[in-house]
Structure 1
Amino acid sequence: MRFPSPLVPGRLIRRYKRFLADVRLDDGREVTAHCPNPGSMIGLAEPGLRIWVEPGLPGRKLPYAWRLAELSGGHWAGIDTAVPNRVVGEALRAGQLPELAAYRTVLPEQRYGRASRVDFLLREPGLPDAYVEVKNVHLRREGDLAEFPDCVTARGARHLAELAEVARAGQRAVMLYLVQRTDCARMRLAADLDPAYAAAALAAERAGVEFLSYGTSIDRAGVTLGLALPIEPGVAEKPERNYLRASIELR
């Protein structure tokens, strides 16, 4: 997934009202950019953070959109929560996800469940349909460990319940976490931030939902699929209480 226009560097002044960010560009101008991220953005919304914004396309209300955060050690974090679907969509069509490479028909945004749309419905003669839900991950609080979610997500828990119903009906149901950070090598659920989501994940796993996690390669030109990452057990208040067992091994 390549950015349509070259990104412009600046420093974050403040992020507010969830979808707005004031930015001081390197040329000295102060502008308001769209922040395409409804989450809490823990650790990625600190004033003074080096960020990169994309000039707005014709018809947009704001002149810039926030795309990347520049991290220490030469690492990057993607801000736009719409990017994972684009990255995963490209990877699915190119057969780059080994777990799903057998499917040649990739249908985005298909209705399922009670009132939802699954991110991708995969079909192939002779195989059960595969329902794939994609989640953006960019929370990091400890070492090289990415976590999801970064705030309470009732919508995310509902998606897990609907995927569980799909699995019980005999189809494939896949929850894919795309880590939009280059400084993470493993992933787990942030059960302390949303215990209900972690409990829903455990119930979904028991129903047969598959859990996958992939990293990304990020630079100023765009975001592409990276390596598969291991999903580690999540814990709530008691360390011995696991909400999600490891689903895949690091390749």
Structure 2
Amino acid sequence: MIVEYPKVEVAKLIERKNRFIAHCYLPEKGEVVVHVKNTGRCRELFYPGVEVALSYQASATRKTDYDLIAVKKGAKWINIDSQVPNLLTYEGIRNGQISLPGLTGEIATIRREVTFNHSRFDVYLETDQDEKVIVEVKGLTLENQQIGAFPDAPTERGLKHVRELIELGQAGYRVYLLFIVQMADTQVATIHNEMQPALATTIAEGQRTGLEVLAYTCQVTPNTIEIKEPIPFDLTAPFINPNDDSAAT
């Protein structure tokens, strides 16, 4: 499945004002105010002059006419839309592009946004072999030296999800944590241990008790994104934070 954004133009970033708003320069229109579709820090991506992809989404109910959906890093584009990983996962599982290891049955039902206990999880499915499956999806946009790492800022919500996945796994569900790496050419995915050591520790605990952790890269252009291929998830992969001013990148 290819997600295609409408009316995309390439602009230059002037400044990211806050988590939600940025100012950009379009050659034929000058300065425009845009909505940033990712509330993460993305410090290594957002700097003055970088090329960004804007999707024209004008509406009477919107405060801005454009969504900022992708950023160019070197020669490649990185999609930063925090909503698209869930859609890619749902469609990818349905059409067989994303494989969930360990399942023996065929999908009988599949739904998005299902609540268990105190959390809403991204995908729930059941198979014809009575397997009950929960998939939590996380978008990954932080990368250095072909290693992708999550998160780029501490996430208590993400930690809570992993803890509850572990509990649900112990209750008999098959549980998966899936990272959608919103770029190509990443060789391995890991956890940004320096940013949130508790998340790495909790995932390691989950892996010992049945939590499956997966990662898939994406092919990205200024106006499209699609699932590309699975890559290894390795908690021991050495990640150097590109936003650490004291680190060599």
1:208 deviation in Å? 1.2
For 1:86-119, what per-residue CA distance to the aligned partner results, in whole angstroms no more than 9, with x for missing partners? Answer: 1111111212222268324210000112x21110
Partner of 2:91: 90
Letter in 1 for 2:45: L
TM-score w.r.t. length of structure 2: 0.88
CA distance in 2 between counterparts of 1:185 and 1:104 reads: 33
Q: Quick check: 1:131 aligned with 2:137? A: no
User: Are the equivalent residues in 1 in contact too, given 2:10–2:222 (CA < 8 A)?
Assistant: no
Aligned CA-pair RMSD: 1.8
Number of residue-to-residue matches in the alignment: 234
Aligned twin of 2:174:
172
Query: 8 Å contact 1:164–1:207 — kept in the other structure?
Result: yes
Output one character per residue of 1:139-166: Cα deviation in whole Å (capped at 9) or x when no partner: 013x111111111001100000010011
Match of 1:245 in 2: none
Q: 2:19 maps to what in 1?
A: 18
Contact map agreement 1:120 1:131 (CA 8 A) in 2:
yes
Q: Partner letter of residue 3 of structure 1?
A: E
Q: Is the 8 A contact 2:135 2:177 kept in 1?
A: yes
Q: Give the stretch that moved more between structures: 95-104 or 42-51.
A: 95-104
- Who is 1:248 aligned against? none
Distance in 2 between the 1:200 and 1:66 partners? 33
Question: Structure 1 residue 26: deviation in Å?
Answer: 2.3
Asked if 1 retains the 8 angstrom alpha-carbon contact of 2:137 and 2:177, the reply is yes
On the 8 A contact 1:12/1:23 being kept in 2, the answer is yes
User: Which residue in 1 is equivalent to 2:246?
Assistant: none
Give structure 2 stretches of 5+ with no counterpart: 239-249
- Residue 231 of structure 1 is matched in structure 2 by 233
Runs of 4+, deviation exceeding 3 Å: none
TM-score by length of 1: 0.88
Identify the residue that residue 221 of structure 1 maps to in structure 2: 223
Which residue does 2:8 correspond to in 1?
Answer: 7
Tell me the percent identity. Answer: 28
Matches within 5 A, 1:56-135: 56-58=57-59, 59-73=61-75, 75-99=76-100, 102-113=106-117, 115-135=118-138
Q: Distance in 2 between matches of 1:228 and 1:146?
A: 13
- Relative contact order higher in (CA < 8 Å, ≥ 6 apart): 2
1:191 aligns to what SS in structure 2?
A: coil
